[in-house]
Structure 1
Amino acid sequence: MPTNLPSAAEPQTPRTPHDTASDSNLKRSLKRFDITAMAVAAVISFDTIGQIATGGGEAATWTAAIALFFLLPYALLFAETGAAFPQEGGPYVWVKLALGRPAAALTTLFYWVTNPIWLGGSLVFLAAETWDGFVFHLGSGTFADYTFKLLFVWIAILTAVVSLSRGKWITTAGAAVKVLSLALFTVTAILYGAEHGFQGLATAHFAPTTAGFLALVPILLFAYVGFEAPNAAGEEMHDPQHDVPAALGRSATIAAACYLLPVLALLAVVPASKVTGIGGFMEGVRLVFGVYGPAAGPLLTLTAIMFVFALLTQGSAWMIVSDRMQAMAAADGGFFSRALGAFHPKLGTPVRTNLLSGAVATVFMLAAMQLVKGDTGAIFSVVLTVAVTTLLLSYLLVVPALVVLRLRRPEVPRPYQVPFGNRGFMACAALVYAWILVGSWAALFPGVLESVFGIDYDFTAVWGVSRTTFETFTLGTIVVLLLVGSAGLAAARRSVRDRTTP
């Protein structure tokens, strides 16, 4: 079976026979609407809206500022690169072409593992808390609690296992439910404010501060990144060269509005001091739905179910794209066995990688419930920070890879280009990279930059756990991932040598 080589007309990462066999099971099923819906389903994070709103009035200010000075240049960079290099695997291929297989394999591991951690940590905890408070009582640490969380994790995984032609409709439904829920909440909050007054605005302070910036930048960056994720299924798109830039622009605009407007609405009717990261959004829904009188109860229950469904499809969307990235890394000899990169001949999905994600999510969920002492809010914050850290760290190599491809592969056709050529591209990359550096540091070492600027920071009061527990989860996770990634590369190399040795 011949190996396809790169060409100027259609740049490709060199394939092995195993890669080609995997690709033969891929079917083109994503159109522009599907790509947009998948990005919206993945990127709009219900679990971060309440977390952002805890920053008070300046949270809205920083949400708008980071949308302008981070999201816009970020979208321009990835729109150009995603259209120019539409191979299956997306960011894995980009980093490999620019920096080599080892860098690509480690980057993909950090990018991928974020999602089972996030699914088994923050998403499942928020879903369980919402179901317990608004639909059916589960309790904490009970059989019902464990059952709900396990079902949530594995339903999300199974929706990623089904063929993309079917799975895309699950994520599309999730995107629609998200936008509908957020629009309903925003409109209802306006009606509530018109009737009862916008009391939250009286205590909101919109002036930006350094302390507010340092507290909010990691979570806001986490909320805004990921629009390149559908490129992981690049060879399952009908026309990625033209659809990716358009879909990314639309989904980025929708996401910015879906963060800013609900945060403003939430702060307008709920004083910032009463907004909590894990229950802030649904508590705001409970309050404003009072305008519907006797219908408030059923509507609240329905909204809670929609909220949980949206969280589920959010996890599914990320599993669909990030598992493909990790599968392509494995198929290319960058992660343990190439068997992990096999795509099912009928489903066209990387079933083995999907199941690995489910196992990681399950282990992390059980560990979070057992090892972190404190209430659900404290667990939620620490787990979310781990996910923020690993995802942001992956961009420390992805963004430079985009720059290298821009400079070293000028012959590659680029249907869409960042304005002002190389200068515009470099300016956007420098701005995005600066944001990623600040966000990564603030997520890994909260309180350090605050001390540099003379800002008081009570670690235990902020996080609900000691610094030792916090750093055990964050830095410990980073060290483990580096060890796993290095072992994966070494095992893959040994496997290749064993196959080629007579």
Structure 2
Amino acid sequence: MSVPASVPNLKRSLRRFDIMAISVAAVISFDVIGQIASGGGQAVTWIAVIAVAFLLPYALIFAETGAAFPQEGGPYVWVEVAFGRLAAALTTLFYWVTNPVWLGGSLVFVAAEAWDGFVFPLGSGTVADYAFKLVFIWAAILTAVVSLRRGKWITTTGAGAKVLALAFFTGTAVAYGVQHGFQGLSGAGFAPSGAGFLALVPVLLFAFVGFEAPNAAGDEMLDAQHDVPVAIGVSGAIATCCYLLPVLAILSVAPGGQVTGVGGFMDAARLVFGIYGGWRDPLLTFVAVLFAVALLTQGSAWMIVADRMQAMAAADGGFFTRGLGAFHPRLGTPVRMNLVSGVTATAFMVAAMHLASGDTSSVFGVVLSVAITTLLLSYLAVIPSLLVLRLRHRSVPRPYQVPFGTRGFTVAVVLVYAWILLGSWVALFPGTLEELFGIPYDFRATWSVSRLAFETFTLGTVVLLLAVAAAGYMTQRMRTQPQDDERETGPAR
């Protein structure tokens, strides 16, 4: 078995705690907590179901594969070894582009909303609004540019800020409930329904994927073969608690029907922080700053890992020019790809600002759906590649193995893949399964835009990405002479 050539001059600096912190910073999505809570009480039910039926098998198969194949590039390497360079190039582009799209079209909007409401007024579409969003995007990119030895502490700080803010909010909500009663729970409606399931499944899958992301920096880990499985297990448990408890807390105190996707967390905080009296506003400001910092470092954590994957694809001859795959000799980071991500995020932010005439809620929902779609589509190749590696490369040492061997691994892959297929379809074509099963669905009321506008934006994005990926691959193939097309290879570690 051969893998893409190793990147020279990389420094091994990621310990088990660092891997776990990057996972927590990347996976726990502040911006989707309100979106999940808007599903009502059954959101709690479906979080529990997906944590068991999806997250558990997902964590098992990625823990085994991440420990057995710890090369730099992570999922790019796995798909390349399993299905070839073209499939890996297409997959990696979808995986990578999710992050500048998400950073520029979702995270920055939620951060601006919180900053405008609780720290400093920005307005909508103003110079201050644009300035905040530009600073936010490029601060996230800058933290990905610095060496991982230093940058990991930025993501660790973000992970800590995220857990601190969620824990403080949850504790405050409990105190508020004790004082005023948990009135929201009585009408929350925890009984699951088909409509609630189809509305929540894409965003819940999006919330729980990404624990394999630190493997993109596999050659920068000190002991990937032993640290990856433990880090995935611990961060998976933390993520489940950080979604389940705050959503339950929001539902327990927020008046029915008033939880929104873009403002759910901070709106609920505004309500429950009333128990602090005169300290309410300063504490809200403090939590809003933590909120924005956590969102920024969440974006930077994904930039750190996704840019490495796309750089490895470029260096391997799968994306326009190998120059985009260059790692800075001193920083050890793919600076050129970082800059491409920054430009892409900025362009998407500007496009999103004009998507729904400044309606932040509409922009947030549609752009989040685009990010969910592109990320879930990338797993359509990543997940089966894990099974191919399991079956074709049995001789590769596996420090951790899924229970029941190949049979258990296969069952877990099939289960995870079924969830990914369902989530991808619902994200790309919302309302179609509801129509099939006779479930009422008002598209405009749900998305605040017409189906034509929604599908033009989402399907247009997917088609554009496929065209860019194909053009990038073919451009590199045509410019490379046959005698130079053989890449350097190294033994699997």
Same fold (TM over 0.5): yes
Aligned partner (choices 468, 479, 489) of residue 463 of structure 2:
479
Report the 3-state secondary structure (helix = DSSP H, G, I; strand = E; otherwise coil) of the residue aligned with 1:371.
coil
2:209 alignment counterpart = 225
Match of 1:308 in 2: 292
Contact 2:376 2:420 survives alignment (8 Å) = yes
Q: Which residue of 1 aligns with 2:265?
A: 281
Helix, strand or coil for the counterpart of 2:134?
A: helix
Partner of 1:71: 55
Q: Is the Cα contact below 8 Å between 1:372 and 1:469 reproduced in 2? A: no
Q: CA deviation at 1:495?
A: 2.2
Once the 2 structures are TM-superposed, how far is the Cα of residue 14 of structure 1 from its aligned partner? Answer: 4.2
The one-letter code of the counterpart of 1:474 is T
Length, aligned pairs only: 485
* Unmatched tracts of structure 1, length 5 or more: 1-5, 7-11
Instruction: Provide the alpha-carbon RMSD of the alignment.
Output: 1.0
TM-score (norm 1): 0.96
1:28-86 deviation digits (Å, cap 9, x = unpaired)? 01000000000000000000000000000000000111001000000000000000000
**1:343 CA displacement:** 0.3
- CA distance in structure 2 between the aligned counterparts of 1:477 and 1:289, rounded to whole angstroms: 40
Q: 1:351 aligned to 2:341? A: no
Q: Tell me what 2:490 maps to.
A: none
1:13 aligned partner: 3
Rounded to whole Å, the distance in 1 between the matches of 2:256 and 2:60 is 34
Equivalent runs, 1:361-400 vs 2, <5 Å: 361-373=345-357, 375-400=359-384
2:407 & 2:197 partners in 1: Cα distance? 28
- Give the 4+ runs in structure 1 shifted more than 4 A: 498-501
Spell out the pairing of 1:435-450 with structure 2 (5 A cutoff): 435-450=419-434
Match of 1:50 in 2: 34
Residue 460 and residue 374 in structure 1: after superposition, are their counterparts in 2 closer, same or farther (change >3 A)? Answer: farther
Distance 1:81 1:271 in 2: 44
Contact 1:55 1:272 in 2 (8 A): no
1:3 aligns to what? Answer: none
Deviations 1:366-388 (A, max 9, x none): 00112333611011000000000
Distance 1:500 1:229, change over 3 A: closer
1:323 matched residue in structure 2: 307
User: Offset of 1:203 from its aligned partner?
Assistant: 1.1
CA shift digits 1:248-302 (9 cap, x unpaired): 0000000000000000000001134010000010011111111111111101100
**Aligned match of 2:14:** 30
Deviates more, 1:311-320 or 1:374-383: 374-383
Choose the corresponding residue for 1:123, options 104, 107, 120: 107
TM-score (norm 2): 0.97
- Letter in structure 1 aligned against 2:30: F
In 2, Cα distance between equivalents of 1:25 and 1:108: 23
Amino acid aligned to 2:131 = T
Residue 403 of structure 1: how far off its partner (Å): 0.5
Q: Could you report, residue by residue, the CA deviation over 1:417-444 in whole angstroms, capped at 9, with x for unpaired residues?
A: 0000111001100100000000000000
Q: Is the CA contact 1:53–1:272 (under 8 Å) kept in the aligned structure 2?
A: no
Structure 2: distance between partners of 1:67 and 1:241: 25
1:88-133: CA deviation from partner (whole Å, max 9, x where unpaired): 0000000000000000000000000000000000000001111000
Kept in 2: contact 1:327–1:340 (CA 8 A): yes
Alignment correspondent of 1:94: 78
Q: Percent identity?
A: 71
Q: Does 1:133 align with 2:123?
A: no
Name which of 425, 434, 449 aligns with 1:465. Answer: 449
Equivalent position to 1:296, from 280, 289, 294: 280
CA distance in 2, matches of 1:192, 1:402: 46
Measure, in 2, the Cα distance between the counterparts of 1:499 and 1:131: 55
Give per-residue Cα distances to partners, 1:140-190, cap 9 Å, x unaligned.
000000000000000000000000000000000000011111011111000
**Which of 140, 145, 168 lines up with 1:156 in the alignment?**
140
Describe how 1:154-233 pairs up with structure 2 within 5 A: 154-233=138-217
Deviation readout 1:206-262 (Å, 9 max, x if unpaired): 000000000000000000000000000000000000000000000000000000000
Equivalent residues in 2 for 1:93-112, closer than 5 Å: 93-112=77-96
Is residue 204–residue 271 contact of structure 1 (8 Å, CA) maintained in 2?
no
The CA deviation at 1:25 is 2.2
Spell out the pairing of 1:236-247 with structure 2 (5 A cutoff).
236-247=220-231
CA contact (8 A) 2:125 2:358 kept: no
